[in-house]
Structure 1
Amino acid sequence: MPRSVLAVLVLIAFTLLPSPAAAGDIRLHVDASEVARKVIHVREVIPTQPESLTLHYPQWIPGRHRPVGQIANVTEFRAAANGKVLTWKRADADPFTVDVTIPDGCKEIEVTFDLLLAAGAEGGAQFMTVASPKLLMLNWNDVLMYPQLDLPGAAPLEELTFAPMVKLPAGWACGTALPIKGATAGVTTFGSVALGMLVDSPLLAGEHVREVPLDGASGKHRVFIACDSVAGLDAPEATLAAWKRLPGEAEKLFGPAKPYTNYTFLLGLSNHIPRAGIEHHQSSDNRLAELALVKAGERKASATLFPHEFVHSWNGKYRRPADMLKRDYQKPQQTRLLWVYEGLTNYLGWLLAVRSGLYTPDEGRDYLAMTAARMSNVKARGWRPLDDTAAAASTLFDATGAWRSARRSVDFYDEGTLLWLEADVLIRTRTKGAKTLDDFCKAFFGTGTGAPEVERYALDDVLKALNEVAPYDWKGHFARRVEAVAEAPPLDGITSGGWALAYSDKPTDLFTTMEGLAKGVNLADSVGFSVSADGLVGDTVPNSPGAKAGLAPGMKLIAVNGRRFSPDGLKAAVGATKSGGKLELLAESGDFFKTHVIDYKDGLRYPRLDRTAGKPDVLGELMGPKTK
């Protein structure tokens, strides 16, 4: 692909090859032997000069889109040199920064601290380093401090190097994208590595582990699994076969050039860590429930996880919005282009899930139906454009699920799926099938050199590449879809693809699976609210029948039509409204009770896609596998 002046190639020269610790390396010793107690001990030896040293604890980590550093869980912080304790002081307006007074003649200091890990799933996906008694997902940014980079003579991010090592509990094994220099007596050592690559290369360790090669002897792609039990490691053959097809389908999508040397899917399976998926250049940090590979429902619920994070190696890690590239980990990122970074990845992740076989075509369409319905229920779109959800991502990621329809959430993910499906169908129809979004992906993302590097881009670069594939007013198109408010989500990709969003009184299998895993009742498409298994009302769609009757998030349903609340009883009552049944809900709000009479006559409604007669099945064509 011809590269514009704005898209100058920025090579981050990460040191990957094992080597002895260099004189300028920061020696990082991480002792995780007591991880079962949720404590990690850290020791750093940092080369320095006399007078003072400013140290940062990382907070804005690439791929997280908001500050996530666990500085509140850092304890026992001390600095010393030549056997003497040094004075340090935290910055007034920045709790992630400390200044250390350095004595004359000092050439290095020792910094020690403990990291206290969250209990169970506490803190959610914002916590990057998590553990159960049987496994650990270690993200190095949580267990290090680094010298300030914007001082005269300071090494830039790609030149500041570390010599890391980690001590694990006896009998544990680990997987990571970093080349391992040596492993003995529970201690794993790595060669000199640049700070950027270190932070970009998490480590998964555990007592019960399994490695799954995805492409035979080449070793280019693999899955490394750690689980709380041996039973949870037993993925079915169909899942393993789909994983093995994934790299080939990605190559058909992006072309043969890779933005990585080798790629490792790290998969932590535990009921005692938060679920997550975090992208990295040469690996991904994936976390699911202990038996997620064994239980069919949980496998389907997580079908897009590996494809999504894998796509990020091209979109987000290799090609990255220029405003999201910062000199260090303390500068806030500008996230306005997340509808490209995450939205396009969400679409391509869904696409690869279907093409590789993690979803059947029917499940792929059911996924789209649920996405389209969910975005149709977001009434805040009437005042808040998609662009604003991306710009305000750091405030929305950890917001509660309640009121999301009224204020919007990180909708650039789900709406991004619809947005880029529409772009794909547009390209196919305008070129009469000669070109597809796959061609854009090859031109824009498929120019890697087989090593982790970053090429920055601006929106104009995206528009230019799209126009080279299929001339169109892409600038105006995305201005309407992204920057303007709209009462309805972009559904043209579905309708022009030969299908239509419809509703039935029977849920699809995928809807039933998702609803079951949520342990509640999803009635957003009928009466306009969701409710947990014990009756707690969740998100409520503005102006829906439930909202008009006075229901709101946080209320608790006590009775349905005079009978004690149960999920099945509520579904039955809503279904009976189609034949004239009443719907009266007794709800508790704080210390008060009220009966809410819902004016509703349409019964149960669940989203699905119906085939449109006389239109070509473009959707079926684009979902088809590209490898034999």
Structure 2
Amino acid sequence: MSTSISAVHYAIRPARPAAHLFELSLTVAEPDPAGQRFSLPAWIPGSYMIREFARNIVAIRAETAGRAVALEKLDKHTWRAARVPAGAALTLHYEVYAWDLSVRGAHLDRTHGFFNGTSVFLRVHGRDNAPCTVDIQPPAEPALADWRVITALPRARGKGAAKAHGFGLYHAADYDELIDHPVEMGRFTLASFEAGGVPHDFAITGRHDCDTARLTADLARICAWQVKLFGAPAPMDYYAFLATVVGDGYGGLEHRASTALLASRADLPYPGMQGTSEGYRQFLGLCSHEYFHTWNVKRIKPAAFVPYDLAVENHTRLLWAFEGFTSYYDDLALVRSGVIGTDDYLALLGKTASNVLRTPGRLRQSVAESSFDAWTKYYRQDENAPNAIVSYYAKGALIALAVDLQLRAASGGGKSLDDVMRLLWQRFGQTGLGVPEDGIEAAVEEVGGKALARWLHRAVNGTDDLLLARLLKPFGIVWKAEAAVAAPWLGAKLAGGNGEAKLASVFDGGPAQRAGLSAGDVLVALDGLKVSASGLDAMLARRRGGEHVDIHAFRRDELMRFEVELADAPADKVSLKTAARPSTAALRLRRGWLGG
């Protein structure tokens, strides 16, 4: 079946890469006779913060049959065109500034172009369900003639249709699909693999020395395991990883058949690399996390997101499950697919537990509250964030672990969180229905009973620490929490920067706060000796808990003196080890959980 130009048609061209400007046109064959409205989303699904993408539209005009049409701006991201004659098409021409090197926005220069649809494609009000076509056009500069395109957006058929990895016509069933397929264009390394019966592409933009054969072999195992977890067939017939590598970067954003990634080039595997480095494990975990979202978030989603309202915040108390459960399964997929070993997995799990313990805010905010306030707190953190919030990613992952362990232990390995995820997939992911606010607890109750559902309710809505040491014991896993350093504790976190000992955060109830030190203070001397960021730990290592030290610090331009009573470092470093002589039952449970 051929695809012709739709009644809603877009064209996008990297018109001025050096100026970071995409040029777009949008033609509506049958505009609203009362005056057609257009708007750009204020946020992008998966990143819960109002970002005001419309601020990057630097020029916009409307026309019909070559004649100008008045265009009125109604609010920060909405425009209305004047009426046009019956039967006449309306076309908008606009430019978008693209200089956001992240997974959320758009970026363009002479090395590459990248965009999310939410940053560039205006919504046509009243035509959300109309099919769309998009003409992705190449740059005009001859030096960029070898650019290619990578996207999971379906290619059109017929005249002008894009060829594989080429410029040309693409199509989407509706606006929601249109904006859920990021596009990368430029010179990228392309590697391919198959997993779960689905072809996958991995595109790498940026200088690198990646061993793509190893990367794709590892990802094939991880992706295949996830498809098997939920059950074939996979919900997409093609999947694309779009990775931009830089000197120092980390991030990912999920889409229905692709993910955009930002990574440090040093984290990629290189030819001849032995073992699995910490950076590579982290990168594989990021890929695994975004891939798991293909099911959990993109298709199993809160009722508050069905449909998305991209003009305002969409509040839900369930991000602890959608991001937290995904954060549990991302690393679990690595060990259960055999890409990493048990010891490596336990190290990753211990790191997650440590990160939660080092956040005083976990004792103030529940993960349900953290989820609801993601828009104003988690995504807009300030110097007091460690004291005020808990990560629904990290603690949500630990809650998922606790539910999984309890299900497995109570059933002798017969039931697990996998059963809960498959139930959610069948009931919500495959039907398109949104998960109600009590839907996760209801699914856990159906699989594990009322007592476990009550436990989950308390864990999600309370602030108590999870008793994971007790839950891990039946699996032959030993939990140990100790101080990260032998030196006494100042109770503050230093900011990265130019080497000065500047306080980024001061922890509630810690020595620094009790002495009156505040975030932003720059430490200059301890007991009369100069302090630097790199030397502070060594100076503290020569003291003991309970000892008093004299600290001079600048607050703004004022020099102040503080007497600080140091404390012993808290036991917030968690290590997990397999027991030396586990029972047969413990081995059976552990193998069912981690494989091997």
Give the TM-score taking structure 1 as reference length: 0.82
Alpha-carbon distance between aligned partners in 1 of 2:588 and 2:400, rounded to the nearest angstrom: 14
Q: Which amino acid aligns with 1:552?
A: S
Q: 1:565 to 1:606 in 2, by over 3 A?
A: farther
Matched, 1:415 2:415: no
Q: Which residue does the alignment assign to 1:141?
A: 118
Which deviates more, 129-138 or 183-192? Answer: 183-192
Deviations 1:73-102 (A, max 9, x none): 1111111112222112222xx311111112
The yes-or-no answer on 1:554 pairing with 2:525 is no
Deviation at 1:347, TM superposition (A): 1.0
Local SS of the residue matching 1:305: helix
Distance 1:201 1:18 in 2: 21
**Partner in structure 2 of residue 314 of structure 1:** 295
Task: Provide the rounded CA distance (Å) in 2 between the counterparts of 1:260 and 1:219.
Answer: 8
Aligned counterparts of 2:91 and 2:332: Cα–Cα separation in 1: 49
Query: CA, structure 1 residues 176+453, in 2 after alignment: closer, same or farther (shift >3 Å)?
Result: farther
Match of 2:70 among 64, 87, 111: 87
Aligned match of 1:439: 419
Counterpart check, 1:364 vs 2:336: no
**Long gaps (5+) in structure 2:** 271-276
- The answer to which of 604-613 and 187-196 deviates more is 604-613
Compare 285-294 and 333-342 and name the one that shifted more.
285-294
2:211 aligned residue (232, 235, 238): 235
Tell me which of 542, 566, 585 is aligned to 2:532.
566
Please, which moves more after superposition, 108-117 or 206-215? 206-215
Could you tell me whether the CA contact under 8 Å between 1:259 and 1:453 is conserved in 2? no
Task: Find the counterpart in structure 2 of residue 9 from structure 1.
Answer: none
How much does 1:63 deviate? 1.9
Distance 1:505 1:417, change over 3 A: closer
Post-superposition shift, 1:160? Answer: 4.4
Pairing 1:334–2:312 present: no
Shift of 1:72: 0.9
* Alignment CA distance shift 1:133-1:594 (3 Å): farther
Among residues 365, 369, 374, which one is paired with 1:384 in the alignment? 365
Give the whole-Å Cα distance in 2 for the aligned partners of 1:108 and 1:426: 61
Alpha-carbon distance in 1 for matches of 2:216, 2:547? 48
1:427 alignment partner, one of 407, 411, 416: 407
Secondary structure at 1:554's aligned position in 2?
A: coil
Aligned counterparts, 1:176-195, within 5 A: 176-181=151-156, 182-183=161-162, 187-191=167-171, 193-195=173-175
Inter-partner Cα distance in structure 1 for 2:442 and 2:320: 17
2:493 counterpart SS class:
strand
Matches within 5 A, 1:166-205: 166-168=137-139, 169-181=144-156, 182-183=161-162, 187-191=167-171, 193-205=173-185
Name the structure 1 match of 2:274. Answer: none
Distance 1:462 1:30 in 2: 41
Deviation at 1:290, TM superposition (A): 4.0
Alpha-carbon displacement from aligned partner over 1:294-314 (angstroms, at most 9, x marks no partner): 584533443321111111111
Deviation at 1:43, TM superposition (A): 1.1
Specify the alignment match of 1:454 in structure 2. Answer: 432
Q: Counterpart of 2:26?
A: 44
Find out whether 1:97 has 2:70 as its counterpart: no
Go from structure 1 to structure 2 and tell me whether the alpha carbon gap of 1:543 and 1:504 turns closer, same or farther (over 3 Å shift): closer
Q: Does 1:57 align with 2:28?
A: no
Which of 448, 469, 476 is the aligned partner of 2:447? 469
1:196 deviates by 1.4
Superimposed CA distance per residue, residues 118-141 of structure 1 (whole angstroms, 9 cap, x where no aligned partner): 36x5xx66x422345423321122
AA partner of residue 444 (structure 2): L
The whole-number CA distance in structure 2 between the counterparts of 1:557 and 1:258 is 55
Pick aligned residue for 1:222 from 201, 216, 228: 201
Instruction: Check 1:241–1:341 CA distance in 2 against 1; reply closer, same or farther (3 A cut).
Output: same
1:43/1:267 CA distance change after superposition, 3 Å: same
Q: Does the CA contact (< 8 Å) of 1:36 and 1:134 recur in 2?
A: no
Report the secondary structure of 2:345's partner residue.
helix
Aligned counterparts of 2:56 and 2:338: Cα–Cα separation in 1: 41
C-alpha distance after superposition, 1:514-533 (max 9, x if no partner):
xxxxxxxxx9x943222125
Answer yes or no: is the 8 Å Cα contact 2:133–2:169 preserved in 1.
no
Rounded Cα–Cα distance in structure 2 between residues aligned with 1:287 and 1:280: 15
Mean Cα deviation higher: 486-495 or 68-77: 486-495
| Alignment check: 8 A CA contact 2:62 2:90 kept | yes
TM superposition shift of 1:606: 6.3
Query: Counterpart of 1:480?
Result: 458
Provide the alpha-carbon RMSD of the alignment: 3.2
Shift of the alpha carbon at 1:317?
0.9
Instruction: Measure, in 2, the Cα distance between the counterparts of 1:200 and 1:37.
Output: 26
Residue 244 (structure 1) aligned to one of 220, 243, 256:
220
In structure 1, distance between residues paired with 2:389 and 2:266: 32
Tell me, yes or no, if the aligned pair for 1:281 and 1:317 is still in contact at 8 Å.
Answer: yes
User: For 1:543 and 1:459, how far apart are their aligned partners in 2?
Assistant: 35
Q: Which moved more, 1:109-118 or 1:587-596?
A: 587-596
How many angstroms apart in 2 are the aligned matches of 1:350 and 1:69?
A: 33
Identity, % of aligned pairs?
20
Contact 2:151 2:182 (8 Å CA) reproduced: yes
TM-superposition CA deviations, 1:170-226 (whole Å, max 9, x none): 21112111233444897332135421111111112222322232449x652332222
Tell me which amino acid in the other structure corresponds to 1:146: R
Q: Which residue of 2 aligns with 1:513?
A: none
In 2, Cα distance between the equivalents of 1:305 and 1:329?
Answer: 25
CA contact (8 A) 1:576 1:603 kept: no
Residue 31 (structure 1) shift? 0.7
Greater relative CO (CA pairs within 8 A, separation 6+): 1
Instruction: Measure, in 2, the Cα distance between the counterparts of 1:236 and 1:563.
Output: 51
Partner residue, 1:624: 594
CA contact (8 A) 1:38 1:131 kept: yes
- Paired with 1:568 and 1:271, the residues of 2 have a C-alpha distance of 22
Structure-2 separation of matches of 1:73 and 1:88: 17
Q: Provide the C-alpha distance between the structure 2 equivalents of 1:586 and 1:463, rounded to a whole number of angstroms.
A: 52
Contact 1:89 1:98 in 2 (8 A): yes
- In the alignment, residue 396 of structure 2 is paired with which amino acid? G
Which residue number in structure 1 is paired with residue 493 of structure 2? Answer: 530
* Number of residues of Structure 1 aligned to a counterpart in Structure 2: 571
**CA shift for structure 1 position 391:** 0.9
CA separation in 1, counterparts of 2:541 and 2:344? 25
Contact 2:38 2:80 in 1 (8 A): yes
Matches within 5 A, 1:595-610: 595-602=561-568, 607-610=573-576
3-state DSSP class of the match of 2:465? coil
CA distance in 1, matches of 2:184, 2:574: 39
| Corresponding residue for residue 191 of structure 2 | 211
* Greater shift in the superposed pair: 106-115 or 601-610: 601-610
Is residue 42–residue 114 contact of structure 1 (8 Å, CA) maintained in 2? yes
- CA pair 427-132 structure 1, distance change in 2 beyond 3 A: farther
1:511 is matched with none
The CA distance in 2 between the partners of 1:490 and 1:59, in whole Å, is 40
- Match of 1:454, SS state, is coil
Deviation at 1:59, TM superposition (A): 2.2
1:191 corresponds to which letter in structure 2? H
CA contact (8 A) 1:19 1:192 kept: no
| Aligned-partner SS, 1:118 | coil
Counterpart CA distance in 1 for 2:549 and 2:323 is 40
TM-score (norm 2): 0.86
